[in-house]
Structure 1
Amino acid sequence: MIGSVAIAADGAKQPNVIFILADDMGYSDLGCYGGDIETPNLDKLAAGGLKFTNFYNTARCWPTRGALLSGYYAQQIHRDALPGLGGGGQASRQNWARLLPDYLKPHGYRSYHSGKWHIDGKVLDAGFDRSLDMRNQGNFFTAKGNFEDDKPVTPAADESGYYSTIAVVDHAIDCLKEHSDKYADQPFFHYVAFIAPHFPLHALPEDIAKYRDNYLKGWDKVREERFARQRELGLLHTSLSALEPEVGPPYDFPEAIKKLGPGEINRPLPWTELTDEQRRFQATKMAIHAAMVDRMDHEIGRLVEQLKAMGEYENTLIFFASDNGASAEIMVRHGGHDPSAPMGSAASYLCLGPGFSSAANTPFRRHKTWVHEGGISTPLIVHWPAGIKAKGELRNTPGHVVDIAPTILDAVGVEKPTEWDGEAIPAAPGKSLVPAFGEDVAIDRDFLWWLHEGNRAIRAGDWKLVAAKDDPWELYDLSVDRAESNNLAKQNPEKVKELEALWNQQLEASIELAKKTVKKPAKKK
């Protein structure tokens, strides 16, 4: 037993692990987190397992992915920038900053990757046995630019039936079938990383049709309805954040607004202030976003059915999360945008924008890139019939993607090594969430920490100190105010000073670790 979770009783095979990651999906997009999008397969996993209510990512795609698979804050392993030191999407991890497959392989695990990578280095060099690396993230309707097993993919001559969300699971199922045929005596780890619902908003016409008129009610009404369902589900004890009409996209691309036409708007204004053309344009963008989430859920259902066909469903630990909150970005990249093309088709290039991003992130403030709750909060579903007795229960302990690697190692009974290739492996901040699998207990930790593009935050207990770039610190009591509506900084200056000192302490520690050449351990005599 590890905590209250059975690992491999009666000589049973170690559990398989699947981590499913969405891209730019909001906290409230899933039905089981209060959303209006049809997500029956994820809802079933939640009903048969656990829903974490206070789980966090890093506010951006590449830092989250590095942190998730390593157990370190992205800044510590050069996967996000530090003041005066650099780091980020183009930087490389230290040799000791290994990813999960390297720790699992010596214990008999085979590892597979299907979907987005966005971590430094080649996938197979990181310990994976097979990979579909979807480097083409600008067109959901072609495989052009993708890599399989670190080699360029040759797209089919006729790609009329291609859609990347389906292709992710086609590859995942192919890996699982091969595993069942050739390696059935070994456990597996599978990292399934969808691009959806990241921009460009591309979806199948039949999926868009399901939602085409659903959002004409506007983002104000959608937020209210989602929040009411969240309260009914007992997910949150907070107010609904106010829309911030002055807060637009994190990056300014005025030329994109011109290309997108008069239907586009880059502020979450009251719905009643929009023109009819703007309301239809915005509602259709949200319909495409919903279609992308719906299709992702449908494909996850196919993945689950494959596990059942293999007889591995009961003994597979499945996680689901999003790499950051929904995005307020508005831009036109890659092939550009044809305003005469059907919205959601390959010739269009659309982004969700701050209006419906606010709805997707209900009930929280801000969006992807910010480290207010809207940028960093994600659903976390955990499902494992053989190891978790609880069904449909909530877990309220704060957690972070740095916890995923130690949680998986703990759950499968693997002890992380203390050195790699003769180098000592430094202590990592991630904590195992396994104790919370059995009951709703708090995971003991000093704090959780964030820094991205000058946006910064720290959470210690229920206190959160947060600031957007160049703004003063704000202080919130998250036990009653995850909407970050009541800034308590002026009333509690000592708490601000205390948390700021902690934030700076972690910043300095991260800089030292990122700069440090780890000494080789002394040779044993």
Structure 2
Amino acid sequence: SYFDPGTLTRDNTMISPFADPEYKPSLYYYTDAISDHAVRYIREHVASPEKKPFFMYVAYTAAHWPLHALEEDVAKYRGRYDGGYEPIRRARFERVKQLGLISPNWELTPQAGNWDEVEHKEWEARCMEVYAAQIDRMDQGIGRILKALQETGQWENTIIFFLQDNGACQEAIGRTGTWRRPVEPTLPSIPFDAIRTDVRPSQNRRGVPTLTGPFIMPGPEDTYISYGINWANVSNTPFREYKHFVHEGGIATPLIVHWPAGLTRRGDLEHQPGHLIDLMATCVDLAGAQYPVEYHGEKIVPMEGVSLVPLFKGQAINRKTPIFFEHEGNRAVRDGKWKLVAKENKPWELYDMETDRTEMHDLSAQHPEIVARLAAAWEEWAKRANVLPLGAWRAEAKETFSTRTHFTLSSGSQLKRSEAPFIVGKGLKILAEIKSVGSGVIISHGGSAHGYALYIQDGKACFSVRSQNKLQTVVAERPLPQAAGILSVVWSNGTVKLSWNDDVLASADGVPPLTSMPQDSLEVGRDENGLVGPYSEDNIFSGKLGTITIDILP
């Protein structure tokens, strides 16, 4: 929901959008919230005495379903789509040719949907009006972000990459049913400070059931509707296919790069294909940095992709290997002008992207040698990239967990979810040998939703538990002595007891066992993934650890 999004997190704590002490708009709308926070970040960063570079990942969800928009934005588009799919699609096709965005020889793919056969035309047009309004609101927010960069003196030397993650979505969500809006709420209300984790809400907080179908106009917060395949076909003009597929309608999106201080090309179009993986390589190149081989002593996956910086100078990309794709069994490889593509469990198709960008003429029968070469290259990449076996994403294997009840660990130890102590409904006892007292995480298991962590902060031993996104922390009453010793925690039957050697430092009741197994791994001496406790990402233990033992308690 754009009006009541679930799984919101402030720092490391999940929150309700209506109980956020730092952000209290008169009307909560997620697109505005993203824009507001980005603007705030820019202004706070510039005001900080530490003059460091900044990075922002501004990930709008617009215009993903559900079709939620502010009525003032919808009003701008009222009546614009009353003529149906084909006139809009044809007009867009001619417009992009006129602007030079596509070549005049591109073919327009077949039209999806027949407007004359649409039963609920007013509702169908309203779907596209709301979709347009969602994008309009995002545009307004981007404008405010750019204005903040200008007003704070960051405009000239900030590089901006703007792109979309995939093509238009044809999914038919909430497009059937006979709902009518009830006069009064029919379900129990949900407190406004309650944390919602439902991705597709069944009701709003007032108790109104989520409304769908052609008798409910999309837009308000109690609706949950998508715009469907026919409007997605319009959005994808001139390509065919949609999100999920790796034909051009699923993957071809523009990349807009803006950097006044660093780009000499202004307003130029570049048709060399790029991939999302190229953005990291580009940023590393621009920074004059070297991509690391390891992090905290652990080898990391090598960087993929190539730098796009040559494009900024009108030069060719130095791409020595093809670009590969796989999503939900749909697969493709792009090598120069050739693109080999297939749907899940379907044969390969071959297209010449220079003469047939909209993939209308399959040349696989005419060039079997090219099909064989590119298919072999794709298979080799798929093996290396852990793509195989295809279809594995459909049915994940049943998870298995450790049956051990005793664990002996040391600094740097890491246990995967399947190897870590299975603590659902259980208690535990941790004994940590501290050879020299420092600060930071001694042991962490889990992340921002479920988990526990033992750490030292401000000289005091602390034990934090997160269960169903709720954080509870037990803090020692006094600092630890600057000497070697055994720091222990016993968590059993809802009680937590912290001790240093035989000296009890703190005890607290009302800390129930976890109801779900933590997603993140167990780590000794740090917490690299989702943070369990209220500490910073810079949390590596600064002291020296000896043996760490964990025992599962009944």
TM range (shorter): 0.5 to 0.7
Q: Distance in 2 between matches of 1:394 and 1:302?
A: 25
Q: RCO greater where, 1 or 2, for CA within 8 Å and sep 6 or more?
A: 1
Q: Are 1:228 and 2:94 matched, yes or no? A: yes
- Per the alignment, residue 240 of structure 1 pairs with 107
Tell me the secondary structure at the aligned position of residue 395 of structure 1.
coil
Contact persistence 2:281–2:304 (CA under 8 A): no
Within-5 A mapping of 1:11-26: none
| Aligned residue among 369, 373, 385 for 1:510 | 385
- Report the CA distance between 1:160 and its aligned residue: 5.3
- Per the alignment, residue 389 of structure 1 pairs with 264
Q: Are 1:312 and 2:161 matched, yes or no? A: no
Query: Which residue identity does 2:352 align to in structure 1?
Result: D
- The sequence identity of aligned pairs, in percent, is 41
| Aligned residue among 363, 374, 384 for 2:238 | 363
Query: Which residue identity does 2:17 align to in structure 1?
Result: P
- Per the alignment, residue 197 of structure 1 pairs with 63
Q: Are 1:457 and 2:324 matched, yes or no? A: no
Cα pair distance change 1:183/1:498, threshold 3 Å: farther
Within-5 A mapping of 1:139-158: 139-143=1-5, 145-156=7-18
Q: Deviations over 1:108-150 (max 9, x none)?
A: xxxxxxxxxxxxxxxxxxxxxxxxxxxxxxx111255411112
Q: Deviations over 1:278-333 (max 9, x none)?
A: x3222211111111111101100000111111100001001100111110011244
Q: Distance in 1 between matches of 2:320 and 2:132?
A: 36
Q: Are 1:272 and 2:116 matched, yes or no? A: yes
Query: Which residue identity does 1:269 align to in structure 2?
Result: G
Q: Distance in 2 between matches of 1:434 and 1:497?
A: 32
Q: Are 1:491 and 2:377 matched, yes or no? A: no
Query: Which residue identity does 1:454 align to in structure 2?
Result: G
- Report the CA distance between 1:379 and its aligned residue: 1.3
Query: Which residue identity does 1:273 align to in structure 2?
Result: E
| Aligned residue among 328, 333, 341 for 1:466 | 341
- Per the alignment, residue 197 of structure 2 pairs with none
Q: Are 1:445 and 2:320 matched, yes or no? A: yes
Contact persistence 1:458–1:465 (CA under 8 A): yes
| Aligned residue among 211, 214, 217 for 2:83 | 217
| Aligned residue among 404, 427, 432 for 2:279 | 404
Tell me the secondary structure at the aligned position of residue 394 of structure 1.
coil
TM-score w.r.t. length of structure 2:
0.61
Larger strand percent: 2
Residue segments in structure 2 that go unaligned for 5+ positions in a row:
175-199, 203-209, 390-554
Tell me the secondary structure at the aligned position of residue 255 of structure 2.
strand
Q: Distance in 1 between matches of 2:245 and 2:50?
A: 44
- Per the alignment, residue 345 of structure 1 pairs with 220
Q: Distance in 1 between matches of 2:385 and 2:369?
A: 24
Query: Which residue identity does 1:321 align to in structure 2?
Result: L
Query: Which residue identity does 1:213 align to in structure 2?
Result: G
Query: Which residue identity does 2:125 align to in structure 1?
Result: A
Query: Which residue identity does 2:171 align to in structure 1?
Result: E
Contact persistence 2:126–2:217 (CA under 8 A): no
- Per the alignment, residue 55 of structure 1 pairs with none
Tell me the secondary structure at the aligned position of residue 188 of structure 1.
coil
- CA root-mean-square deviation: 2.2
Contact persistence 2:74–2:133 (CA under 8 A): yes
- Per the alignment, residue 334 of structure 1 pairs with 201
Q: Are 1:206 and 2:72 matched, yes or no? A: yes
Cα pair distance change 1:168/1:315, threshold 3 Å: same
Tell me the secondary structure at the aligned position of residue 378 of structure 1.
coil
Q: Deviations over 1:226-272 (max 9, x none)?
A: 1111111222225234236xxxxxxxxxxxxxxxxxxxxxxx32223
Within-5 A mapping of 1:29-428: 139-143=1-5, 145-156=7-18, 161-183=27-49, 185-237=51-103, 238-243=105-110, 268-275=112-119, 277=120, 279-332=121-174, 333-335=200-202, 336-338=210-212, 341-428=216-303
Cα pair distance change 1:208/1:512, threshold 3 Å: closer
Cα pair distance change 1:295/1:443, threshold 3 Å: farther
Tell me the secondary structure at the aligned position of residue 320 of structure 1.
strand
Tell me the number of residue pairs that the alignment of Structure 1 and Structure 2 aligns.
352
Q: Distance in 2 between matches of 1:143 and 1:427?
A: 35
Q: Deviations over 1:78-120 (max 9, x none)?
A: xxxxxxxxxxxxxxxxxxxxxxxxxxxxxxxxxxxxxxxxxxx
Query: Which residue identity does 1:204 align to in structure 2?
Result: L
Contact persistence 2:93–2:108 (CA under 8 A): no
- Report the CA distance between 1:512 and its aligned residue: 9.1
Query: Which residue identity does 2:42 align to in structure 1?
Result: L
TM-score w.r.t. length of structure 1:
0.64
Q: Distance in 1 between matches of 2:160 and 2:339?
A: 30
Cα pair distance change 1:215/1:184, threshold 3 Å: farther
Contact persistence 1:395–1:440 (CA under 8 A): no
Cα pair distance change 1:431/1:494, threshold 3 Å: same
User: Which structure has the bigger radius of gyration?
Assistant: 2
